[in-house]
Structure formats: C-alpha cells, structure tokens
C-alpha cells in the first residue's frame, strides 16, 4: 500500500457526559459507526464537559456525539459547546445529541449549535446517513 494514498476518514467522538451510567446506546452507536467505516473514539463513562472538550480538540473529530440519558442536557451540552468555542473547534465539528430530550429542549439545543437530536428508536441508518450528509467539509 502506498504511503501516499490519500483518504479522508470520518472521525467521531462518542461521549458519555455527566453522571448517567447507561452506555448501551453509546456502545451500539460506536459499533454501528465503526461498521459504517468511521473511526470512533469512545470516551468512556462519567466524563466531565472539560474532558469531552479536550478529547474532541486533540482527536480532531469531525463529529461529536453526546449521549445523555440523565436529563441534564441543558446544563452539560452548553458547557461542551463553550469549551469547543474556546479552542476554535466549534465551527467545524458536527454536534449530535442522543438520548431522551423533550421537544422544547431540542429546539433550544439546536439554537445553541447542536445539529440534530436523536431520540430512542431512531434507526441506525438514519443517524449514519445524517452524519455522511452533514459532516463538515474541511480543507
């Protein structure tokens, strides 16, 4: 294989933030993204917003998928977004939220810069298609 072979691979961070310990969904997503040919960095459980920011910046991911089932999304997601802005990583990162989020909150999160919120029962193919269609175009 040529060392010169050029190729873009979509990099994703699947992040569990806050105190909820339910990571089945995150695992399923990580696995599905892998099978879609993406490179998936998994954060592990119970991460603070700062840690997610550090990982997203250093790993230079195209997609940040935040899984929250605790209902604390209105507190945690804005902190992550602030941190990304601080490092100049907000503009070209596709931010997704997965979990149980009421409709009113969904609108507010999108206002903040979350591209899409995926609730329970979303077909995996839909999420993957969304990522492929919306992944930021980088130079």
Partner 1 sequence: MAGERRESSADADLVAGILDGDQRSLARTITRIENRSPGYRDLVSALHEHTGHADVIGVTGAPGAGKSTLVDKLAAAYRDRGDTVGVVAVDPSSPYTGGSVLGDRIRMASNVGDMEVFFRSMSARGRLGGLSTATADAVKALDAFGKDVVLIETVGAGQNEVDVVRAADTVAVLVQPGSGDDVQTLKAGILEIGDVFVVNKADMDGAERTLAELEEMVHLRDRPTRGLDTAHHGAGAVGHADVDGNGDDADGNVAHGDEGNVAHGGDGGDDADTAEWTPPVLRTVGTTGEGVDELIAVFDAHAAHLRDSGELAQAERRRYAEEIRTLVRSDIGALAAAEIERRGGIEALADRVRRRETDPYTVADEVVAPIAACVDAAEE
* Three-class SS of the chain: CCCCCCCCCCEEEEEEECCCCCCHHHHHHHHHHHHCCCEEEECCCCECHHHHHHHHHHHCCCEEEEEECCCCHHHHHHHHHHHHHHCCCCCCCEEEEEECCCHHHHHHHHHHCCCEEECCCCCHHHHHHHHHHHCCCCC
Q: Supply the minimum distance, in Å, between the C-beta of residue 102 and partner 1.
A: 30
Note the residues at the interface with partner 1 (CB under 8 A). Answer: 1-9, 11, 30-31, 33-44, 47-48, 50-51, 54-55, 57-60, 87-89, 139
Give the shortest CB-43-to-partner 1 separation in angstroms.
7
| Least distance in angstroms from the C-beta of 107 to partner 1 | 30
CB closer to partner 1, 43 vs 117: 43
């Amino acid at each position: 294989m040529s060392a010169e072979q050029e190729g873009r691979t979509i990099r994703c961070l699947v992040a569990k933030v806050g105190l909820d310990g339910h990571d089945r969904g995150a695992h399923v997503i990580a696995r599905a993204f892998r099978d879609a040919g993406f490179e998936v960095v998994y954060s592990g459980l119970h991460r603070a917003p700062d840690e997610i920011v550090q990982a997203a910046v250093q790993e230079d991911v195209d997609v940040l998928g935040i899984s929250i089932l605790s209902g604390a999304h209105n507190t945690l997601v804005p902190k992550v977004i602030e941190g990304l802005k601080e490092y100049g990583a907000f503009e070209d990162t596709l931010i997704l939220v997965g979990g149980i989020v009421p409709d009113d909150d969904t609108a507010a999160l999108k206002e903040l810069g979350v591209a899409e919120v995926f609730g329970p029962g979303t077909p995996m193919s839909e999420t993957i298609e969304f990522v492929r269609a919306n992944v930021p175009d980088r130079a």
